[in-house]
A and B are shown apart, each in its own frame.
Chain A
Amino acid sequence: MSDRSGSDGPRTGPDPEASSAPLSVFCGKGGVGKTTLSLGLGLALARAGRRTLVVTSHPLPELALSISLDGLDQQDPASAERLFVIYIDPRQVLAEVVGAQIPSRGIAKRVLESRIYNNLIEIAPGLKEMAFLSRLRDVSHSRTADGGFDHVVWDAPATGHFVEILRVMRKFETYLTGPFAVRGRDLASFFGRADLRLLPVTTLEEMAIDEVLELVERLTDEFRLEPAGIVLNLVSPLLSDAPLPAAAGTGNAAIDIVLERLRVEREHFRRVRDAVRADCHPVPRVRGQASDLVLLDRLAESLRPLGGVGA
């Protein structure tokens, strides 16, 4: 049976021998900086000569509202050539499946515009997740083929939705009818074999930490997946085990507030560090009124170890 993934260009089916690119996944609570970190890591990898794809959770015009790589092609054209950013829209993937299954464009168009199709795809359990994974697999699966990538970075959606996607990734049996029936088993084995590097992200504050610890527990208990590391984002430069000056020591209430903040940060840091097996990677908050590109540059420097790029 031919592979009807509906993706660009003719496909003859996945080549089980092709090695797949490492897939680094930033996951965690909304607002902790996953998107910025994904672009930062993408930039670090591109600068190190790797052809890199960043898959974001924002449609691209909105991505420009969050953080932007504008100016990279002037500043560093070589890296700009190696760094790609896409948004995988499951509805678009499904539309391509429809197009592939219905040769007549007129009829395909009517189906795609029909209310029942549009409403059913929203309701159908796991369908959009399957569509997303199918495309993610397609872009990750071949390192060596023309147009393949050396590394894929996935800016995953917020925890709840991310866990849903992982469930679909595992329980392909549920999706044995419909357009993804053929791909279900293939997807499960692909993601089972893939060099998946899960990087839960948290800031050092209560809610984000609660959520990341729950996520890590669920990853290990439900999915038997170990995080490659925990990213502690937006930390202060004084995060270390060296003792902080005593609060009373400065004789100045306002400054003491600053030190108190740093002390609280350390408590949070210890809580995370003691609760997880994986290594913690603190990423300092970038100072100053930096432009997006300057910010991403500095971030890229501190993220090199996460990409397996020499320090």
Chain B
Amino acid sequence: MKIVVCVGTGGVGKTSVSASLALRAALAGRRALVLTIDPARRLRSALALDTADGQQRVALPDYAGPGELWAALMDVKSVLDRAVRLYAEPRQAEIVLGHPIYQMLITSLSGMQELVAVERLDQAISEGFDVIVIDTAPSRHALEFLDKPEFFNELVSFPLVRLVGRTYKVWSRSPLSRLSGGALDLFRRVESILGPQLVSEVLDFFSVFQTVAEGFAERAQRTMRLLRRAGTTEFCIVAGPSRTARDVSFFWDELTRRRFPVSTLLVNRIWPEVADEVSPQASAQVREALDWYRDISRTQRAACDAVFDEFRDRLRHRQRIFELPRDIDGLPALRGIASQLDLPLGLE
């Protein structure tokens, strides 16, 4: 099994690249899954995700081999709901799913999207895919999720939450012999700062969510080990043609600092060179357009060359992908990208 995680900032085409990598693996005979964040309308429909709930097999016309391409949207709510139903007792699950704090958790905890990527990956692995390509959130902060799987574990292991269970409301009125004076004082202060109603709602939620959270944290730790295994996982930095050096440095630092295996760089959406001469009859308008285009294309290619040079020893697999004049609107466009990809990622 191979896992590829694509990281990079917004607007660089990570989703298209991720889908293309998975497509390439499928066309080479593998059973491949791409987990996407937020594909564009037409890509979404090409990947059969527009009406779907859960993962869908993508039809591959003109391909008759054994490979399969599957796609799924990594949406926070469906991944978490599924985890709750799988790992909590039915009564517990209903309480959790209907709890206002749970609703908030889904929408407002920063990093939830990344956190569920880890859970979703665990679900995918158990389904027996050969190749799993993960598209991550378009943010420099997406990698913070890789620090976070311990989050739930931390929260539920706080002694107060362990103690309370559903009897929180009763407990708050009785003597607290099992809690040290210091811990109780701390708790009271936090309560007065954040508001007792909020704190009590949150603790109530976590007392029920506890078992789910513990399971979540355990699976996350297991998945994290897999993500750090160089033979299995490859992190791929996807950059655009502007701010390339900065973005690549940033992600390389963030990944290596966390001991994730990264040796692949894709610089995407580069404007291809147009070296042809324009005919003498061409209008001033055409000349101006060409001049503008060439200037940008030249700058982009030079920036890409410079980054490739700088990272020559650190990122062994480097590739540039040229932009098409139209948006990625379906499988043919993805095949266009896939055919440009020449990375020995072991996907084939």
Contacts and interface: CB of A to CB of B under 8 A. Distances in A.
Interface of A: 29-32, 58, 62, 65-66, 97-98, 101-102, 107, 110-111, 114-117, 119-129, 158, 161, 164, 177-179, 181, 203, 205-208, 210, 236-238, 242, 244-245, 250-255, 257-262, 264, 285, 287-289
Interface in B154-179: 154-155, 158, 160
Q: Which of A114, A123, A178, A252 has the largest count of B CB atoms less than 10 A from its CB?
A: A123
B10 A288 contact: no
Contact of A205 (B104, B285, B289, B327): B327
Given A251-B279, A255-B290, A123 B186 contact: no
Interface in B106-133: 107-110
A155 B196 CA distance: 34
A242 B334 CA distance: 33
A238 B285 contact: yes
A162 to B, nearest CB: 13
Nearest to B327: A206
Given A210-B41, A236-B289, A252-B279, A123 B250 contact: no
Interface stretch (B54-62, B197-205, B224-232, B338-346): B197-205
A111 B194 contact: no
A287 B285 contact: no
B193 interface: yes
B190 A114 contact: yes
B317 interface: no
A117 B155 CA distance: 10
A31 B286 CA distance: 29
A102 B283 CA distance: 73
Contacts of B249: 65
A206 B41 contact: yes
Nearest to B40: A207
Contacts of B147: none
Contacts of A207: 40-41, 327
A66 B243 contact: yes
A35 to B, nearest CB: 11
Contacts of B48: none
Contacts of A262: 289
A5 B202 CA distance: 24
A173 to B, nearest CB: 13
Interface string B175-215: 00000000000110110111111110010000000000000
A129 B108 CA distance: 9
Given A181-B195, A238-B292, A252-B278, 16 more contacts: A30-B10, A65-B250, A114-B190, A116-B190, A122-B110, A123-B202, A127-B198, A206-B329, A236-B289, A238-B285, A242-B285, A254-B276, A257-B325, A258-B290, A287-B296, A289-B299
B275 interface: yes
Contacts of B272: 257
Contacts, number: 165
A178 B200 CA distance: 12
B39 to A, nearest CB: 8
B285 A245 contact: yes
B293 interface: yes
Contact of B190 (A120, A237, A254, A287): A120
8 contacts: A30-B9, A30-B10, A31-B240, A124-B198, A158-B138, A161-B110, A237-B292, A288-B299
Contacts of A236: 289, 292
B140 A101 contact: no
B193 A178 contact: yes
Contact of B276 (A101, A115, A252): A252
B86 to A, nearest CB: 22
Given A250-B282, A254-B275, A238 B12 contact: no
B325 A260 contact: yes
Contacts of B202: 120, 123-124
A285 to B, nearest CB: 7
A21 to B, nearest CB: 28
B105 interface: yes
Nearest to A251: B279
B276 A203 contact: no
Given A98-B193, A124-B198, A287-B295, A114 B186 contact: yes
Given A29-B10, A287-B292, A210 B279 contact: no
B289 A126 contact: no
A91 B250 CA distance: 23
Contacts of B195: 177-179, 181
A261 to B, nearest CB: 4
Q: Which of A66, A120, A126 has the largest count of B CB atoms less than 10 A from its CB?
A: A120
Interface in B70-112: 101, 104-105, 107-110
B63 interface: no
B10 A158 contact: yes
B286 A111 contact: no
